[in-house]
């Protein structure tokens, strides 16, 4: 069943129609960043220069009046699924990965505040001495007040990826679009790094993503977007200014919807 339900006018926006067709300025977005995105050229952890650049682009978008939520992965610090394959208990590994997302989220919050912005980290599990616990209505209120709201710890459950958490949170806050930041400029017929003949899609449907197993996000996340009619745009985070261009209504990367 679709998760999205009718809500007050303060939560929804008339610009949603423009967002769902890929046109018009967006009013509320959720950006999914992988932990690796914060590594920059480093082999591990957080590259301060990359952190500042990402924070700067988000801050610039909020200065346009756009409400921004963020979901961060933790793969730059710890990836539970990987260590589970070496023998670690999967639940333990996933819990450790969740804590890594808190580290990344706090780093992004600090970078945004250093630029004069306002941000809140909200965790799916209680770590009240470090950040707020996730409460949907409070999250929406933070967004309405112009605060970048950073959702940490994924869904709070093992076996669920931060991609799925991004889809869930975007639906819960009635985001106009889910923006998936990657290292390539959209979705291709195959991995463009391994296959130079791979062709880029400008637009395609969720059904095709699932049928062709294009692998841009895990299947659960894609199904949630499809069932709740949440547009997904995949773009290249390594290109400066792409996020701003998307918010301004430019066709960047690949847009995935229920119909083309």
- Domains of the chain (ranges plus CATH)? 16-257 (3.40.1160.10)
The tens digit of pLDDT for each residue in 105-125 reads: 999 999 999 999 999 999 999
The helix-helix angle for 162-172 and 219-227 (nearest 10°) equals: 10
In this predicted model, which residue has the larger pLDDT, 24 or 215?
215
CB proximity list for 224: less than 8 A, separation 6 or greater: 3, 164, 167, 168, 171, 230
Mean pLDDT of 179-197: 91
Q: Lowest-pLDDT range, 9-23, 82-96, 130-144, 166-180? A: 9-23
| Residue 2 banded pLDDT, cuts 50, 70, 90 | low
If you average pLDDT over every residue of the chain, what do you get?
89
Which residue in 33, 115, 112, 125 sits closest to 70, CA to CA? 33
Q: What are phi and psi of 45, to 5 degrees?
A: 80, -150
pTM (whole model) above 0.95: no
Evaluate if residue 8 carries a pLDDT over 80: no
Mean pLDDT of 248-253: 93
């Amino acid at each position: 069943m679709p998760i999205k339900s009718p809500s007050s006018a303060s939560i929804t926006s008339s610009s949603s129609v423009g967002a769902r067709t890929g046109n018009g300025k967006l009013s509320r977005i959720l950006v999914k960043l992988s932990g690796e995105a914060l590594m920059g050229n480093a082999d591990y952890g957080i590259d301060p220069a990359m952190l500042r650049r990402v924070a700067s682009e988000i801050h610039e978008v909020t200065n346009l009046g756009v409400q921004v939520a963020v979901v961060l992965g933790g793969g730059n610090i710890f990836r539970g699924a990987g260590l589970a394959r070496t023998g670690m208990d999967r639940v333990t590994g996933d819990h450790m990965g969740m804590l890594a997302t808190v580290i990344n989220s706090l780093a992004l919050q600090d970078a945004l505040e250093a630029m004069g912005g306002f941000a809140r980290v909200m965790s799916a599990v209680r770590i009240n001495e470090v950040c707020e616990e996730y409460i949907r209505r409070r999250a929406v209120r933070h967004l309405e007040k112009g605060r970048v709201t950073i959702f940490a710890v994924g869904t709070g459950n093992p076996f669920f990826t931060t991609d799925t958490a991004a889809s869930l949170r975007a639906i819960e806050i009635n985001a106009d679009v889910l923006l998936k930041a990657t290292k390539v400029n959209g979705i291709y017929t195959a991995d463009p790094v391994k296959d130079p003949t791979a062709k880029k899609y400008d637009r395609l449907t969720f059904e095709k993503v699932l049928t062709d197993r294009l692998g841009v996000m895990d299947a659960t996340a894609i199904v949630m977007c499809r069932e709740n009619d949440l547009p997904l745009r995949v773009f290249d985070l390594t290109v400066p200014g792409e996020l701003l261009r998307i918010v301004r209504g430019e066709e960047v990367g690949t847009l995935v919807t229920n119909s083309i």
